Amino acid sequence: MSEEVNDVVNDVAVEVQEVAAEVDITDNPTISHDEYLELVSMRQSILELKANKSEVLEFVMVAQQYAQQLQAAQERLNVLNEALTENTNALQERMRELIEPLGVAGEFSITDTEPHYVVPSA
Contact 13, 59 (CB under 8 A): no
Q: How far apart are CA 20 and CA 25, in angstroms?
A: 6
- Element at 96 (helix H, strand E): helix 33-99
- How far is residue 47's CA from residue 50's CA, in Å, rounded to a whole number? 5
Residue pair 110/117 in contact (Cβ under 8 Å)? The answer is: yes
More confident call, 122 vs 100? 100
Number of structural domains the chain divides into: 1
Q: How far apart are CA 50 and CA 8, in angstroms?
A: 13
Report residue 49: phi and psi, to 5°: -65, -40
Report pLDDT for 62.
96
- Report pLDDT digits (tens) over 95-119: 989 988 988 888 889 899 999 888 8
pLDDT of residue 24: 57
Range of the domain at 38: 2-120
Contact of 117 with 104, CB cutoff 8 Å: no
Tens of pLDDT, residues 28-77: 889 999 999 999 999 999 999 999 999 999 999 999 999 999 999 999 99
